[in-house]
Structure 1
Amino acid sequence: MTDSIEEQTQEELFCIGCGAKIQTTDKNQLGYTPSSVLKKGLETGQLYCQRCFKLRHYNEISDIQLSDDDFLALLNQIGDSDALIVNVVDIFDFNGSIIPGLHRFVGDNPVILVGNKVDILPTALNPNKMINWIQKEAKEQGLHPIETMLISAKKGNSVDELLALIDRERKGRDVYVVGVTNVGKSTLINRIIKQTNGMQDVITTSQFPGTTLDRIEIPLDDGHALIDTPGIIHAQQMAHYLHDKDLRLIAPQKQVKPKVYQLNAGQTLFLAGLARFDFIQGDRAGFVGYFDNELYIHRTKLENADDFYGKHLGDLLQPPHPEDLADFPELHRYEFSTKQKSDLVFAGLGWITLPADVVVAGYAPKGVSVMIRKALI
């Protein structure tokens, strides 16, 4: 009986967690579901692929097997549509979470820029300063959003306001929710579903990158839809250099607490083995770090820093772990001089607030952004 059900309906069966087409023949391909559980899924209406089932119940992740061409085709499809675009970014990793060239793909469609994870910002940070900075960075990328707002998809902060904004601006059109991996996009979709019709955790969510594997359409009252798209892979995210168990360090789950370091010129801070900060020139001063509360930070002398890193990477300085060292890239150095109180931002990790009139250097894996901005606090 199960085989006949598969034969009759397989063409129209999709995982309700990630949107992948269900198949029962190849466990190494997307959408695989054992035949033994297919019938039960059809009867209950809760049909998940094996990948989503393991992710939901055991917190296990499988590799993504979608190509860059698939993502490119999706972006082109958005550009050909008459739609409202909701672009979700990570406020702790704006430069790593902005979609390269998005402004070329959206065409004339309006964009709402949504900065997620506001709940982990330090209490002293003025949200309006963060919004202004995000808008400035977006414009430098060629993106001109009609509105910018901060939310917490996890906590639900300002999600009602976002829904009201979407309802006002979509004007009878579909809504595409886009973002790179690991920005909390599917968590936001789940929050929207929960707040609009009471269904909870319909779409698979995780701290792991790349959960949504095909577009998922949530019907709206007027016949249009809210469309959740796959998380687009951005190779310059710190997440791609970390083991799954360490992703929490770049995706803080609790409000970040500032850590103050009184430094003399000639001192170095290692941010585990992932990044490095050198105080090169200036008077003794306090430097304030804003990182995940569990990130290991080690202070040492600048003159010994290179040897220390080479000796202790993967040991005292973890992550990365010993088994990941072969694939971990060298750190790239960026030097800055400040004229005013500034933030040195390590994309995906956090930032260090610097005083005026100092010379510093920041290091991160090649391709991961290290940049300076006017201090937000």
Structure 2
Amino acid sequence: MTELNRDEELRCIGCGAVIQTEDKDALGYTPASALNKGLETGELYCQRCFRLRHYNEIAPVSLTDDDFLRLLSHIREANALIVYVVDIFDFNGSIIPGLHRFVGKNPVLLVGNKEDLLPRSLRRSKLTDWLRQQANQAGIRPLMTTLVSAKKNHQVEELLATIEKYRQGRDVYVVGVTNVGKSTLINQIIKQRTGVEDLITTSRFPGTTLDKIEIPLDDGHELVDTPGIIHQEQMAHVLPAEDLRLVAPQKEIKPKTYQLDEQQTIFLGGIARFDYLKGPRAGLTAYFDNNLPLHRTKLANADAFYEKHLGGLLVPPHQNEIDQFPPLERFEFAITEKSDLVFEGLGWITVPAGLVVAGWAPKGVGVLVRRAMI
């Protein structure tokens, strides 16, 4: 990399925050010694990103939701192609409410990331169609919908060709909520174009990119990674870092099918719960991280079972985290067509028509019903 210029505004190449050496608790802090080394090597990271990259430590940030939205407000005034990245495994948690308020009349390319997490038996053409229809229901009208796996580098080259086709000499803004894999995707793009690996800080923690990061394109325009909008209903916001590995899939999920009678319960670790309230014996399929332990019991015993086993048999949360864990809230649904009961940021259970069910999730985490994906 080329040496950085001290006279320019210095930004962390991992998260985009302005570098400063005065306040250890503020964004962009880096020790003076690290600043000097970064200026020499051209690889300048704030201390937060350095710790995240090398030690997987996450430090809290002081940016508010309004700060993030303010950083995105200039997109409306730009003449650009908007690449809107969603997490296929957490599509509903990926929705940006009022997306068109931020992007104005700029065209939107919808990119479903993490397609490698879904069963290979699911036809990708069917998944693309499902994704487009769900986006339409949310008021989003993309000019095209495509699938990628940024982590596995699947279809990234094809995405680049699509971006070139539709950007027509404009800048490109990559937008999405936290944790959908925007920065991982842009790292793949940078790697393919320059050979530089893992330039931008990535993690499973919310809010890793703190300010926009601009990557030059060949024609003088830029590809801009914007900060992820914080979606407070995601499960990642209520779990400690060590528990995220049990809810954030890193490889293809293996669905689990249960034959249930009414008045039965399935606990999703200790962080969520599914109740089958009323209906005939039915097969229900659960789509969650392979590491998340699922336990079936009778509905009549469920409350006592939860109280007795939370932090032990039912983890996460672990025993030392119970005091800080939010109480579970209940949402009841009458299912009229084959549907997914979704626990935002955790996964879903596919339920046939004609059943009455309930989903429980930590207070503040969304539970909803949608048209079945699979």
Under TM normalisation by the shorter chain, which class is it? over 0.9
In the alignment, does 2:222 pair up with 1:225?
yes
2:316 maps to 319
Alignment TM-score, normalising by the size of structure 2: 0.94
Q: Secondary structure at the match of 2:186?
A: helix
2:356 maps to 359
**TM-fit CA distance, 1:174:** 0.7
Q: Say if 1:126 and 1:334 are closer, same or farther in 2 by CA, change over 3 A.
A: farther
Q: Say if 1:69 and 1:10 are closer, same or farther in 2 by CA, change over 3 A.
A: farther
> Which is further off, 42-51 or 313-322?
313-322
- Quick check: 2:20–2:30 contact (8 Å CA) kept in 1? yes
2:279 maps to 282
> Which is further off, 329-338 or 92-101?
329-338
Gaps of 5+ in 2: none
In the alignment, does 2:327 pair up with 1:330?
yes
- Quick check: 2:267–2:273 contact (8 Å CA) kept in 1? yes
What is the distance in 2 between the residues matched to 1:212 and 1:224?
A: 21
The 5-angstrom pairing of residues 147-226 of structure 1 reads: 147-226=144-223
Partner amino acid, structure 2, of 1:67 = T
1:301 maps to 298
- Which one of the candidate residues 84, 88, 91 is aligned to 1:91? 88
**TM-fit CA distance, 1:225:** 0.1
In the alignment, does 2:61 pair up with 1:72?
no
In the alignment, does 2:240 pair up with 1:251?
no
Q: What's the CA shift string for 1:7-65, capped at 9, x where partnerless?
A: x9266222111111111111111111111222221111111111111111111111112
- Percentage of identical aligned residues: 66
- Quick check: 1:92–1:347 contact (8 Å CA) kept in 2? no
Gaps of 5+ in 1: 1-5
**TM-fit CA distance, 1:152:** 0.4
- Quick check: 1:249–1:349 contact (8 Å CA) kept in 2? no
Partner amino acid, structure 2, of 1:344 = L
Q: Secondary structure at the match of 2:198?
A: coil
Alignment coverage as a number of residue pairs: 372
**TM-fit CA distance, 1:282:** 2.2
- Which one of the candidate residues 59, 63, 74 is aligned to 1:62? 59
Alignment TM-score, normalising by the size of structure 1: 0.93
Q: What's the CA shift string for 1:131-185, capped at 9, x where partnerless?
A: 2332222223222111111110100111111111111111111111011111111
Q: What's the CA shift string for 1:269-293, capped at 9, x where partnerless?
A: 0101221111112222322211100
- Quick check: 2:148–2:155 contact (8 Å CA) kept in 1? yes
What is the distance in 2 between the residues matched to 1:288 and 1:344?
A: 10
Aligned-CA RMSD value: 1.9
What is the distance in 2 between the residues matched to 1:365 and 1:175?
A: 37
Q: What's the CA shift string for 1:263-314, capped at 9, x where partnerless?
A: 2211100101221111112222322211100101111110111222233333
Q: Secondary structure at the match of 1:75?
A: helix
Q: Secondary structure at the match of 1:93?
A: helix
Q: What's the CA shift string for 1:298-356, capped at 9, x where partnerless?
A: 11110111222233333322212344334433322222333443322222111212233
